[in-house]
């Protein structure tokens, strides 16, 4: 996996004025925290009964009652849980770093591997997953060169080894899109016309057409975003909600322009000296045409590195790469 680093030069799009602002208008409402017994609820999904499921960096899968705050451990993923999908019957699909895409049929059950490899190559860095009603599964692979623990190296390298993959109900696998820059969140349009996939490493959201005259082709529904998009979920409002793990970092954007040898030197530095995500609480919501409907941001003093947002009846549940809690806020009433 991923040795040595082979940086690709890239000229990022010039950041918009929004990328330099630290709060939104209207502002994000105050947040409250649902404490967890672990750190880094990287994705959050709402179950059919209104409870929330997330995973923490110790491998635990938790079910949380957002009203009482009660937290139950329902499984151990045997690796770092990343993106999740809740099926109508409450079963979960879970991307697990180093293991692939797994399924938890019910609380307390053993996780079964749904997809562990492609063409004999283990899936080391699955990122997000969605399941259609007919049993078709779509999932993203962030990197085929670097493991989850070295995600920043993949961003810095910008070699584009991310993929969007389909698994048919009979188990057949097909790579739909290759060459993605750190493929992350995946959503399926309710009319099944297209898939959207977040490219964290390119500040954009890419659309893959499933039907119609453009079937099998890609375009972009959002480009030059003011931050790095992470997990995505379709809310109860029908909008695509996106967590921005970090606002644009001017230092990182400058590094993309540098020769490979200099980026290799930066990558070898201690973490405290490399470009870190900027602390912020930031979520966006788009319609499937890419029209921005909600832009909510607040200071990251109490919570940051928002990797996920699940909207349910006007309430927003936020996940994070590092925090020991789920954050809860709401969609402002306009």
* CATH number of residue 310's parent domain: 2.120.10.30
pLDDT at 2 over 50: no
Q: Is pLDDT above 70 for 1? A: no
Q: Is residue 119 part of a domain?
A: yes
- Which residues touch 137 (CB under 8 Å, ≥6 apart)? 93, 101, 114, 115, 129, 130, 131, 166, 167
- Around Cβ 6, how many Cβ atoms within 10 Å? 13
The tens digit of pLDDT for each residue in 222-262 reads 999 999 999 999 999 999 999 999 999 998 899 899 888 88
CB 222 within 8 A of CB 204: yes
Nearest residue to 48 via CA among 93, 102, 87: 87
* pLDDT of amino acid 83: 98
Res 10: pLDDT:
95
Q: pLDDT tier at 132 (50, 70, 90 boundaries)?
A: very high
Residue 175 has pLDDT above 60, yes or no: yes
Question: How much is the pLDDT for 4?
Answer: 87
In a domain, 126, yes or no: yes
Mean pLDDT, all residues of the chain? 95
Q: What is the pLDDT of residue 289?
A: 92
Contact partners, residue 221, CB within 8 Å, separation at least 6: 196, 205, 206, 207, 286, 288, 289, 290
How does pLDDT run across 265-302, given as a tens digit for each residue? 888 888 776 777 889 999 999 999 999 999 999 999 99
For residue 276, what pLDDT is reported? Answer: 77
The number of residues making up the chain comes to: 334
User: How many domains does one find in the chain?
Assistant: 1
How far is residue 207's CA from residue 186's CA, in Å, rounded to a whole number? 10
The pLDDT of residue 260 is 85
pTM, two decimal places: 0.96
Candidates 147, 148, 139; CA nearest to 42 is: 148
Locus of tokens 């409402």: 29
pLDDT score of 181: 98
- Helices and strands per DSSP (H, E), number in the chain: 3, 26
Stretch 187-208: mean pLDDT: 98
The range of the structural domain enclosing residue 280 comes to 27-330
In a domain? residue 297: yes
Residue 17 lies in a domain: no
Q: Which candidate, 175, 201, 183, places its Cα nearest to that of 121?
A: 175
* Structural domain contains residue 11: no
Residue 10 lies in a domain: no
6 domain-assigned = no
Q: Which of 29, 22, 57 is nearest to 43 (CA)?
A: 57
Give the separation between CA 19 and CA 247, rounded to whole angstroms: 6
Query: What's the confidence (pLDDT) of residue 271?
Result: 77
Q: Residue 312: inside a domain, yes or no?
A: yes
Q: Choose among 332, 288, 328, 287: nearest CA to 306.
A: 328
Buried b (16+ CB within 10 A) or exposed e, 177-194: beebbbbbbbbbbeeeeb
* pLDDT reported for residue 220: 98
DSSP state letters, 209-274: E-SSTTTT-EEEEE-S-SEEEEEEEE-TTS-EEEEEEEE--HHHHHHTTS-HHHHHHHHHS-GGGS
């Amino acid at each position: 996996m991923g040795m040595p680093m082979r940086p690709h030069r890239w000229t990022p799009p010039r950041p918009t004025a929004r990328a330099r602002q630290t709060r939104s208008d209207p502002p994000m409402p105050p947040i409250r925290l649902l404490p967890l017994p672990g750190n880094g609820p990287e994705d959050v999904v709402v179950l059919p009964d209104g409870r929330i499921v997330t995973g923490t960096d110790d491998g635990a899968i938790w079910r949380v009652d957002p009203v009482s705050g009660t937290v139950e451990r329902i499984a151990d993923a045997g690796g770092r849980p990343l993106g999740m999908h809740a099926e109508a019957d409450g079963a979960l699909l879970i991307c697990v770093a180093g293991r692939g895409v797994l399924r938890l049929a019910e609380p307390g059950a053993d996780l079964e591997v749904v997809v562990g490899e492609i063409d004999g190559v283990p899936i080391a860095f699955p990122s997000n997953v969605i399941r259609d009603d007919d049993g078709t599964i779509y999932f993203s692979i962030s990197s085929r060169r670097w493991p989850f623990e070295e995600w920043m190296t993949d961003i810095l390298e910008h070699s584009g080894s991310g993929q969007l993959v389909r698994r048919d109900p009979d188990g057949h696998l097909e790579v739909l899109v290759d060459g993605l820059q750190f493929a992350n969140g995946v959503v399926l349009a309710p009319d099944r016309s297209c898939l959207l996939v977040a490219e964290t490493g390119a500040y954009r959201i890419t659309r893959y057409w499933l039907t119609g005259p453009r079937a099998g082709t890609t375009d972009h529904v959002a480009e030059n975003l003011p931050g790095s998009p992470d997990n995505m979920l379709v809310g109860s409002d029908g909008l695509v909600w996106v967590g921005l793990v970090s606002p644009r970092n001017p230092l990182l954007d400058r590094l993309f322009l540098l020769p490979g040898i200099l980026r290799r030197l930066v990558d070898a530095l201690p973490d405290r000296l490399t470009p870190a995500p900027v602390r912020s609480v930031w979520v966006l919501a788009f319609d499937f045409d890419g029209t921005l409907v909600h832009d909510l941001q607040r200071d990251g003093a109490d919570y940051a590195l928002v990797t996920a947002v699940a909207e349910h009846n006007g309430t927003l549940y936020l996940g994070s790469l590092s925090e020991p809690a789920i954050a809860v806020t709401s969609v402002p009433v306009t």
